[in-house]
Each structure stands twice: as C-alpha cells, then as structure tokens.
Amino acid sequence: MSPRTVDRIATGVICAVAALIMAVLVSLLGFLLFRGVRHIDFHFLTSVPQTIKAGGGIGPQLFNSLFLLVLTMIITIPLGIGAGIYMSEYAKPNRLTGFIRLVVEVLSSFPSIVVGLFGLLVIVNTFGLGYSLLSGALALTVFNLPMMVRLTEQSLRSVPREQKEAGLALGMSQWKTIRSVMLPVALPSIVTGTILAAGRVFGEAAALLFTAGMSSPRLDFTDWNPLHPASPLNPMRPAETLAVHIWKINSEGLAPDAPQIAAGASAVLVIMVLLFNLGARWFGRVLYRKLTAGK
C-alpha cells in the first residue's frame, strides 16, 4: 500500500475510536442527566435528607461538598504553587530533585482509596483530628498536591526563556522576575489546572469515606461561628459530602424514594463537575486574552 493509503486508514481508525469514546461518554452523561434532572428542584437542593421517609434532599451534603472544596484549595494552592516554583526555578538537577519528582509521579498515580486509608491512619487516628472536614481536606490535599506541583512547574517552564533573561538583565532579582514576569505568563495555565483540580475534589468519594465520615450533624445555618459544634463553618465536625451520600444511598438507603434521590444527586454532581471543567476552559481563555492584550 502507498503511504497515502496507510495514512488514510490510520486516520479513519483513529477517528472511529474517538467517535466511539465520545458516544459512550455522551450516552453515560445523557443517561445520568435524564434520570436525575427531573428530580431536581429548590426543595431537593436545600432540604435535609430523610432516613426512612420519602421527600428528602441533599442540602447539607451539597454545602459540605462546597465547604470541603474551599478548605482543600486553601491548603493545596499555596503549597502546590510554592513547590512548583521551587522545582522549576530553584531546585538544582541532582539525585534529590530527581527523587522528589519520582515521589510526585508516584503520588499522582495513587488510588484515592489508598489516600483515604493513609488519612485514616495518620490524620484521623495519629494526629487525633477524627472524622472531620479538616481531615478530609488534608487527605484531598495529599491527593491533589502532585497535580498542582507538576502543573505549576510545567507552566513556568513553558514561559519563553527570553522573558526571564530580560527581567534578570534589567536588574530584577530572581524572585522579582518570577513574580512579575513569569507568573503572569503562566497564570492562565495554573488557573485552568486549579479549577480542574477543584472539580476533581468535588467528585471525590473514596478518600472521604475514611476521613470526613459518612454522617453529618444537624446544622444550624443561623450560627456561623466556626467554634460552635453545630455551625456549618466548623471544620472539626464530620461531614458527608454529595459523592459519599450517593454511595451511601445506593448501598444502604431505606427511604422509599432512595433511587430517585440517588439519581437526582448524581445529576447534580455531574452538572457541577461539568461546570468546573467548562468554566476552567472559558476562564483560562479569557485570562489569556487579557494578559496578551495588555502586552
């Protein structure tokens, strides 16, 4: 066969495989949304779940997921960006930095259930934090930190070398060059990756079974003092997230409408993750256009 024929055959096979994967993904998302969207309303999104009665909602679980997401990103973003800057600009190529990169790669491939067991043994039991939002946030930080480190390092390394050298030639210190020249150029990629990491945190369940817990106390949304046990902002209380709630309903739900609740909660989770991903792409493009327009 001629090279042109081989190229056409290979292109056709690749397009067919891509179309098949897209069809499977669209079918899965369509099935989840079709089953669940009809059950979503304001009462469902704000009411508390019911154990044995019908008509429960996902209000506390949805709030717990959002609050846990904020806690996790508050911890993950400074550590991830700081470590990425160090690995990209300050760490010298030697055995130690090679070992650190190897550890980061290994951590990024760990199953979430292993991270959850680590959090149970170290964070929950050894440090005595118990089943709490803070324990879940620390476990998810371990889960998400390798991604943030690699993303920041690669974003900084993609900055043209001439821009860095121009900042140093103007008499700027290395940190000033990183902060004023390199980070603004790498910022769109870092922001996009951060939002994608947030969507990953929002849909996580396995690691939270052993750290944040599978129950949530009755919350008093009129009390916003984080030191009170019933306050929604108390980081030391156990918290069942939306993903954990879906697993719990499907495995041991006793309410008559448990399948409908699980379907509605799954649809909400899918919609939130899709919004995170689409928002990341849109925000990254807008930020990139603003930064390039100002040059």
pLDDT (0 to 100) of residue 167:
81
Q: Is residue 248 part of a domain?
A: yes
Q: Which domain holds residue 190?
A: 40-293
DSSP 112-149: HHHHHHHIIIIIIIIS---SSHHHHHHHHHHHHHHHHH
To the nearest whole number, what is the mean pLDDT of the chain? Answer: 85
Q: Is residue 168 part of a domain?
A: yes
**231-275: pLDDT as tens digits:** 888 899 998 999 898 888 888 777 888 888 888 998 998 888 888
- Residue 171, φ and ψ in degrees, nearest 5: 90, 10
pTM summary value: 0.85
Q: Is residue 5 part of a domain?
A: no
Q: Is residue 268 part of a domain?
A: yes
* Residue 231 three-state SS: coil
**Cβ count within 10 A of residue 272:** 19
Q: Is residue 4 part of a domain?
A: no
Q: Is residue 34 part of a domain?
A: no
pLDDT (0 to 100) of residue 282:
81
Q: Is residue 30 part of a domain?
A: no
Task: Domain count for the chain, please give it.
Answer: 1
List Cα–Cα distances, 138 to 65, 73, 130, in angstroms. 14, 10, 12
**Cβ count within 10 A of residue 278:** 12
- Whether the per-residue pLDDT at 91 is higher than 90: the answer is no
> What is the identity of the amino acid at 230?
A
Output the domain CATH number for residue 242: 1.10.3720.10
Tokens representing residue 232 in the block: 């929604």
Distance CA 36, CA 58 (A): 13
CB within 8 A of 183, min separation 6: which ones?
A: 156, 190
Q: Is residue 97 part of a domain?
A: yes
The enclosing H or E element of 30 equals helix 3-36
- Whether the per-residue pLDDT at 15 is higher than 90: the answer is yes
